[in-house]
Structure 1
Amino acid sequence: MIELRSDTFTLPSRAMIRAMSEAELGDDVYGEDPTVRALEERSAELLGKGAACLMPSGTMANLASIMVHAPRGSKMLVGTESDIYIYEAAGATVCGGVMYEPVPNRADGTLALADLARGFPDDPTDEQFALPSLICLENTQNRCGGVVLPQSYLREVREFATARGVAVHLDGARLFNAATALGIPAAEITRYADSVQFCLSKGLSAPIGSMAAGDEEFVRELRRVRKMLGGGMRQAGVIAAAGLVALDNLERLHEDHAHARRLAQGLAEIDGIDTDPEAVQTNIVMFRVTDARFTWQTFVEAVGRHGLALAELGHGRLRAVTHSGVSARDVDEAVAIVRRVLSNGESH
């Protein structure tokens, strides 16, 4: 099976498995796991933040961060194409009593400042309205094709939020893909956010875990919320050890980006596929099937029978994600499968 549905479908490297088996352990709920502490310190350093906290998942990292920033009964402004809004089970409302105010994502992943401004009531003293307390951004932006938000835009949002007295949280699940694409340290991106989370278990290829970071006061409160949500872990150094290996191998992401461009270029040469290789910025390739013999469902089923797994992101858009489990040979084989299926018209 060539797994291009998600960059979470990766096996830990031998180095990760060895580090996990040899990790020095303690009770992380009491802050006594030295491997977790090392990962948290390393993460905070990479992000330019005062502290960081190991979380079981990116969903919990985002949720806990939102609950720290946003009081019950307030609202957060979030993109209509964001993972927080679409894929995280309305946790902010269910668990935190926080209202979502969806703001349209533009094609480049950004939220127009004018649209953000409409989320603020003309009269903040009017008790009829929930007041904004948080702006959430996503970088890279998954459903917009893994695009990287411009640094100039992040600075504008930071200034906009500061002027209105609200916080900025960055869902950086694929943060290091953004940093790799821009050729800058991750801290240059996160400097514009009050808090950030990134996933160890996507392109970084660890088997589990995410990190959330901010200043020391934020992280102290974050740990309390983590415990409340059931995210307190004991000998979590077995997880953290893989994360440390991942952070020592960030340069590998260049390979994923090259494979994504290779995939997009190959797909663009096939009749019946609509994609733009020039739009590929990181490790995500978006495309559509234009061959009238297929729906997206029958196409995904057909290539699946040949061992190629793809994901659909709504409105017939298909997504392929490159990761450490995908080689250049796999990319070429995936292109060959698509060409073969469309050539033979295997819709059933």
Structure 2
Amino acid sequence: MAGFGVSDRSLILIVAAASMLVTVSVANRDWYYGGGGGGFNYTTHWPWGPRNDSHSLNRTNQPNKIIVGGSDHWHYGFNYSVWAFQNNPFYVSDVLVFKYDPPSKTPFHHSVYLLPNMWSYMTCDMSSAKLIANTTQGDGDGFEFVLKGWQPYYFACGESAGLHCREGRMKFFMAGFGVLDRSLILIVVAASMLVTVSVANRDWYNGRCGDNIIVGGSDHWRYGFNYSVWASQNRPLYVNDVLVFKYDPPSKSQFHHSVYLLPDMSSYLTCDLSRAKLIANTTQGDGEGFEFVLKKSQPYYLACGERGGLHCKDGGMKFFVNPVSIDCGHY
């Protein structure tokens, strides 16, 4: 997900952290079928429970056709953000099918627009949106939209000057994520998992800018602590916030730790440190700890690099953050 600034200082988009994304191995095809051999148990391990199911994970490499809204189709008053969340994952080449009655059958007209960015999605600003299905195209078998690329897609109904989007909840977003070398799937958190928070009230904001945040809190930086969960519970983070990594040096502990900055999501998911940058060695976490400033609104992938990545893979010592840009001088 990209880092988004706050255009008129009225909304903050809080980015879901790594723990809110679910990564699963599909190297073993039994995973798709809930089979043996250590396959992933879909029913018990998805944080949102089993899908209610307009499409299923019992798939091969063929794309799925997914009816938007399931049996509810595309209509005013249905929460499509929740629907999108409950029906993840979505894959590149999957087909979204929008079904809705044409004007000849109902006084309630619907359409489908593709919005250009998160800000227009959050505000239901249709001024730069692209009409992809008019009021007649949802009839019969419905309008089909193919998720062609690894990117976010922002959908909304554009009728009544955006009222259906704003008040009728006819909007959702997803990313058509591909499969990395057919070994990993990144499951997208849908719009319902993103939180928008008003910062018009300064009491909420509390003058927060450039805070020092101790990674892991009182647990500091150690093996066996889930830093993805910690990151999700400590949202939002802002540009200029400072992450403080505290850990004992080799002279005080036999368990050595470090901090690496990984280049991308693929290396983060696989704990591939081959292109990672060492930003804090095994001695720098002592005392007041190592400080890392979040200088830009961009993803930061952080992990411990010790024991060939074992601390990252098995020790829970990885997380990513995407700080929100905000002009502190205006508060």
If the TM-score is normalised by the length of the shorter chain, which range does it land in?
under 0.3
Q: Greater helix share, 1 or 2?
A: 1
More contact order relative to length (CA 8 Å, sep ≥ 6): 1
TM-score normalised over the length of structure 2: 0.26
- Larger Rg, first or second structure (1 or 2): 2
TM-score normalised over the length of structure 1: 0.25
Q: Greater strand share, 1 or 2?
A: 2
